[in-house]
Structure 1
Amino acid sequence: MFDEPADEEPDEVAPEEELDFDVVDSESTLPPEIPQAPEPPPASEASEELQKMFWSVVVLLNLAILAASLGVMYIIFRGRLQLGGGLILVGLLGGLHAYRIYRRYEYE
Structure 2
Amino acid sequence: MTPFDDEEGDPWPDEPEEFDPDSLGPETPDVEPDPEEAMAAAADVDEDLFRAFWGAAVFLNVAIAALALGALLIYFRGDWPRGGQALLVGTVAALFTARFYFSYRPDDAEDESTIDSEADR
The two structures have a TM-score, normalised by structure 1, of 0.55
Correspondence for 1:76: 75
Contact persistence 2:48–2:104 (CA under 8 A): no
Correspondence for 1:91: 90
| Cα RMSD, aligned residues only | 2.2
- Match of 1:46, SS state, is coil
Supply the AA of the counterpart residue of 2:49.
L
Correspondence for 1:47: 46
Greater helix fraction, Structure 1 or Structure 2: 2
Runs of 4+ more than 4 Å apart: none
Distance 1:46 1:77 in 2: 45
Distance 1:83 1:90 in 2: 11
Is 1:61 matched with 2:71?
A: no
Question: Considering only CA atoms, is the larger Rg found in Structure 1 or Structure 2?
Answer: 1
Distance 1:72 1:105 in 2: 31
Q: Which segments of 5 or more consecutive residues in structure 1 lack a partner in the other structure?
A: 1-41
Correspondence for 2:12: none
Q: Which segments of 5 or more consecutive residues in structure 2 lack a partner in the other structure?
A: 1-39, 109-121
| Alignment deviations for residues 75-101 of structure 1 (CA, whole Å, 9 cap, x no partner) | 011110111011111101110111012
The two structures have a TM-score, normalised by structure 2, of 0.50
Distance 1:63 1:103 in 2: 18
| Alignment deviations for residues 61-86 of structure 1 (CA, whole Å, 9 cap, x no partner) | 00011011000000011110111011
| Alignment deviations for residues 27-85 of structure 1 (CA, whole Å, 9 cap, x no partner) | xxxxxxxxxxxxxxx74342122112201110000001101100000001111011101
Supply the AA of the counterpart residue of 1:55.
W
